[in-house]
Amino acid sequence: MKEIKIKTVLINSENETTNCETNAKYNKDNETYIYKEDDLTVTLKIKKNHIIINRKNDDYDLNLEFKENEKIVCNYKILSLGLNLDLLVTTLKLEIKEKYIYIQYKLNNKELDMGTFEYKILFINKEEQ
């Protein structure tokens, strides 16, 4: 597994921004990145025109799938409360490039609109630093 530096930017529905710079382990065979964002372990799987993200810690396990202009039912487990929620993920924009991934998406739980989010992942090769 190769280790590379990444930078992530998450903009939530209230327009609050969370930034993180960390090292990710990259498995070329299955196009998977694993990295830490504070207390979260994040697994990012890249497929052709399709992204799967798992964000997990002791409190929750969030699985999100993104395909541009598609709606996908995903799962959000709140482990500390024993809740298992279905989320409808609507991918508004998905860009998968060699140096970055950009995702703009809407989340809904049943009829509740949870807002629009943006997630950016920048890949920085160790050799280039």
The set of long-range contacts for 54-62, using a CB threshold of 8 Å and a minimum separation of 24, is none
Residue-level pLDDT at 110: 85
pTM above 0.75, yes or no: yes
3-state secondary structure of 128: helix
**Angstrom distance (rounded) from CA 40 to CA 90:** 23
Tokens of 115: 């807002």
Q: Which amino acid is at 15?
A: N
pLDDT (tens digit per residue) in 2-45? 899 999 999 999 999 999 999 999 998 899 999 998 899 999 99
* β-strand partners of 70: none
Tokens of 103: 């995702």
3-state secondary structure of 127: helix
Tokens of 111: 């009829």
Residue-level pLDDT at 129: 38
* CATH 2.40.128.20, domain 2-128, yes or no: yes
**Angstrom distance (rounded) from CA 63 to CA 107:** 12
**Angstrom distance (rounded) from CA 113 to CA 82:** 22
